[in-house]
Amino acid sequence: MNSGALELKSVPPHDDVAERDGGDPVAHEGIAAQGEASPASVGLQHAVHEGRLAAGEARHAAERETDQGIGRRPEVAEESWHSGYVTLWIHMTQRSEDHGGGQPATGTEQEISERAAGLAEGVLAGNRTRLAQAITLIESTRSADAPVAQELLGAVLPKTGRAHRVGISGVPGVGKSTLIETLGLHLIEAGHRVAVLAIDPSSTLSGGSILGDKSRMERLAQAEAAFIRPSPSAATLGGVAQRTRETMLLCEAAGFDVVLVETVGVGQSEIAVREMVDTFVVLLLPGAGDELQGIKKGILEVGDILAVNKADGSRVNLARAAARDHSAAMRYIRPRHPEWTPKTLVVSAETGAGIDELWAAIGEHRAMLEASGSLGTQRAEQSTRWMWSLIEERLFRAFRENPAVAQELGATVDAVRAGSLPPGAAATRLLNLFGSP
């Protein structure tokens, strides 16, 4: 595989960008305007935005650019909130130039291509075993697996993007898994193939999933047209699994036309998942509407559809009252799309009541995105932001693992905590250590 800008020339352009982009958090749109980044790095951003390159592959191309010494220092204003990450890029480039750069090869190009091609063939054929193996590969933290994973994603990218990506969140105990199972079975009966990416809380000791989603969705797990993949959050922001976006692309390539992403329902995971889906559904509990269940305004802001669950038995009237209250509250929240007014529904995952209406609302939202041209734009922006997020992640990891930084980090943090060293001066000291020979 080539590096830098040369690699972009080997990636063929595709038509119909709106149907293939990977969905993906925190924007860096201003970087090109604020400084002169290398032509290759700017080209990577454009390629991801246009859907010609997977975000993860762009990250690795950027790393190879750094290893080759191609990167050049951009003149970024200090007040830019992302300038720290750009500075890390600068120091990584300078260090690579001083030392000759580059990491030892983890396998020949032919071996990488053959392994990726074998998995890609199985995924595109809808082989569930190969799909599971491919997902395990992209979730791997082994450096030897990274080139194969990115080659695999590049191979399947043209066959992705056709699915409707739906995020489902809500407070703990609202019945997310039960609703997803009921909705999933409903969709399968209608002829859809459904993939469920259930993001679980992780064990702080092992990093593995505590909750077993296949046991919580037993009927759906037995359906031939369903694929459930519980993923450990691995301590990533807001409990969101690090590779959920890439997993989504693989599921789409395998022929699943609806992808449901369940969040843990805590912290910032809702915001992060909103950055990878087309439609976001927030589940609510029946109850006192004036309290709004402690739902933060920010959570309501990301919801395209609000659904009050557990509207069965004696709770039907409570659910209807809660729906009215939440619908009224949404009038004071600016909608994400001018063409869309968030809908508030009443459903029961136990009885199936309202599931037809919920899916109809999801489909109506998708139709609005397509008709207005927002779907392609939204996905392109998600992919570009995800590329920058991946670059940040890798640069930060390289910074923390740098021997010189690791040696001084503890003492520097202690000095900041004691008030004897300003945080800005501490950051400069550590960054200088990172960039020194």
Nearby residues of 382 by Cβ (< 8 Å), 6 or more positions away: 21, 22, 23, 24, 275, 276
pLDDT (0 to 100) of residue 302: 80
Tokens of 248: 């989504």
247 plus 172 within the same structural domain: yes
Give yes or no: residues 211 and 342 share one domain: yes
pLDDT at 53: 57
Domain total of the chain: 3
Order across the sheet with 258-262: list the strands. 226-232, 194-200, 258-262, 164-170, 279-284, 305-308, 343-346
The tokens 């729906």 sit on which residue?
323
Q: Note whether 121 and 184 are same-domain residues.
A: no
* 230 and 270, same domain (yes or no): yes
Task: Kindly report, residue by residue over 394-431, the tens digit of the pLDDT.
Answer: 899 899 999 999 999 999 999 999 999 999 999 999 99
Predicted pLDDT at 48: 57
Q: What is the pLDDT of residue 273?
A: 85
Domain boundary among 353, 377, 394: 353
Whether 254 and 286 share a structural domain: yes
Indicate whether 48 belongs to any domain.
no
**CA-CA distance, 5 to 43, in Å (whole number)?**
7
Q: Supply the CATH number for residue 141's domain.
A: 1.20.5.170
Would residue 31 count as lying in a domain? no
* Three-state SS sequence of 90-159: HHHHHHHHHHCCCCCCCCCHHHHHHHHHHHHHHHHCCCHHHHHHHHHHHHCCCHHHHHHHHHHHHHHHHH
For the entire predicted model, the pTM comes to 0.71
CA distances from 45 to 76, 214, 269 (A): 17, 38, 25
Same domain? For 229 and 176 the reply is: yes
**Which residues partner with 195 through β-bridges?**
227, 259
Spatial distance between the Cα atoms of 386 and 360, rounded to a whole number of angstroms: 29
Residues 6+ apart with CB under 8 A from 324: 289, 344
- Stretches where the chain sits below pLDDT 70 are 1-107, 200-215, 231-242, 264-268, 288-299, 436-437
Residue 185 Cα distances to 45, 227, 262, angstroms: 39, 12, 16
Q: Both 155 and 175 in a single domain?
A: no
- For residue 244, the enclosing domain spans 162-353
Cα 409 to Cα 28: distance, rounded to the nearest angstrom:
27
Strands 226-232 and 194-200 turn out to be parallel
CATH number of the domain that 346 lies in? 3.40.50.300
